[in-house]
Each structure stands twice: as structure tokens, then as C-alpha cells.
Chains A and B, each alone.
Chain A
Amino acid sequence: DTAVSQTPKYLVTQMGNDKSIKCEQNLGHDTMYWYKQDSKKFLKIMFSYNNKELIINETVPNRFSPKSPDKAHLNLHINSLELGDSAVYFCASSQGQGQGEAFFGQGTRLTVV
């Protein structure tokens, strides 16, 4: 059984479109995250939710809006996509905030053309 699953795995879209990436974890964790990995493999946290509440919102454009319908799901919606949004986006979850290992999904490679 996949612990953290995100869909889709690949997403190619045109500039200006709106798209969503979904994430679900079946580990019973309280905290979920979105990370962005650029072409140099640098992993940067974007958002963190604990029990459906936003606790971290790094300097991310407000075109990015996370939504957590319940503590097992954290979806990422992106409006008006730009070329610079092209990256691999990882969802992760952990029990507690930063005090234990985070489990990562397999990533969504977003390509904006």
C-alpha cells in the first residue's frame, strides 16, 4: 500500500492555465507538506498543514493555494501557471511537526509550456 500518494505523476500544461495536484496519506499523520524541487534538485518547503490548519506558508505566490479537506488530504491548486512554475512538486506527511521523519510521495513533474 502506498503511504503517500500524489496524482498526477506528470502534468504538462500551457501558461495561464489552472491545475491541481492531489495528495493523500494513509499513515494517520497529523502534518502534511508541499515541497518544490527545482532543476538543481533543491527542495524547498512551500506549505505545511497540521490537522487541516495552515501552519507554514513560505514566500509562495498567492497563485498557489493549498486545500486540506481532512487531515489525510492536502491538495495544491495553482492558478495562472507560469513557465517558472515548472518543477517537481512533492507532498509529504509526518507525525508531529518536524520532529520525526517525513514520508514523501513520488512527486509530480509539472511542465509549463
Chain B
Amino acid sequence: GESVGLHLPTLSVQEGDNSIINCAYSNSASDYFIWYKQESGKGPQFIIDIRSNMDKRQGQRVTVLLNKTVKHLSLQIAATQPGDSAVYFCAENRQQGYSTLTFGKGTMLLVSP
């Protein structure tokens, strides 16, 4: 299940399940979005991106959905594996005179064997 508390929101799933991680963004002018995966002790790693002229993009085992009406992004991971356990961040290219990637709060994904 999903929980929000003082710590990072955490999603716990069983190996083989599909996972859905959600993200709300704030700037309606943002035109580019990226999902990053951060494993313990490492820097964030690119997973998949999507531009604002699309509402869905698929990669290998991952799908990103973009709903601009409600400013919502989701990352779907199919057949989740223990190696998918990490913190996942969405980032938006926020236009504010200059372009910069602004990160949302992360979600920890825990995959049990």
C-alpha cells in the first residue's frame, strides 16, 4: 500500500506486481518532464521523459502518463523486480525566465521478493 508520513511516501509491492508512482506538478507552463530513479548511495538516474505535447510514453517495462488538466504525472512499472527498489522522483522543466529542472518530492518503492 501507499503511505505518507514524516518520511518519504512509500509504496510497497510484491515482486511481479505492477507499480504506479504518482506525482503532482505545480507549474502549468512546464513543458518537459522526467522520471528519475535514485538507488541508495547513488545519484539520480534517468528513466523516461515526456514532453507536454504527449500524454503517454512507453519504455522498457515503464510507462509515463501525463495529465495536463490536473497537472499530474504517473510512472507505471510493469512486473516490478527487487532491483526496482529505489526512490523515484519526477522533475519538471519549469519556465521562469530561464529553464531549469525542478524536482518533486520522492517516493520510495520497496519490492519484496
Residues of A within 8 A of B (CB): 4, 35, 40-45, 48, 55-56, 90, 92, 94, 96-99, 101-107
User: Is the beta-carbon distance between A56 and B98 smaller than 8 angstroms?
Assistant: yes
| Secondary structure of the B contact surface, majority rule | strand
Q: What B residues does A56 contact at CB under 8 A? A: 98, 100
Is B113 an interface residue, CB under 8 A from the partner? no
Chain A's closest residue to B48 (CB) is A101
Tell whether B61 is near chain A: CB-to-CB under 8 Å: no
Q: Which residues on the A side are within 8 Å of B93 (C-beta)?
A: 98-99
User: In the complex, how many residue pairs between chain A and chain B have their CB atoms under 8 Å apart?
Assistant: 61
Q: Mark B32-70 against chain A: 1 for CB-CB distance below 8 A, else 0.
A: 101000100111111001000000000000000000000
B87 CB–A CB distance under 8 Å: yes
A40 lies within 8 A of B8 (CB): yes
Contact among A41, A44, A97, A98 with B106 in the assembled complex (CB-CB below 8 Å) = A41
Report chain B residues within 8 Å CB of A92. 43
Which A residues are in CB contact (< 8 Å) with B87? Answer: 41
Contact of A42 with B105 at beta-carbon distance under 8 Å, contacts A56-B100, A99-B93 already known = yes
Residues in B whose Cβ lies below 8 Å from that of A98: 32, 93-94, 98-101
Q: A40-B105, A42-B103 are in contact. List 5 more A-B contacts (CB 8 A).
A: A55-B98, A98-B94, A99-B99, A101-B34, A106-B41
Per the bound structure, the CA–CA distance linking A90 and B36 in Å amounts to 14
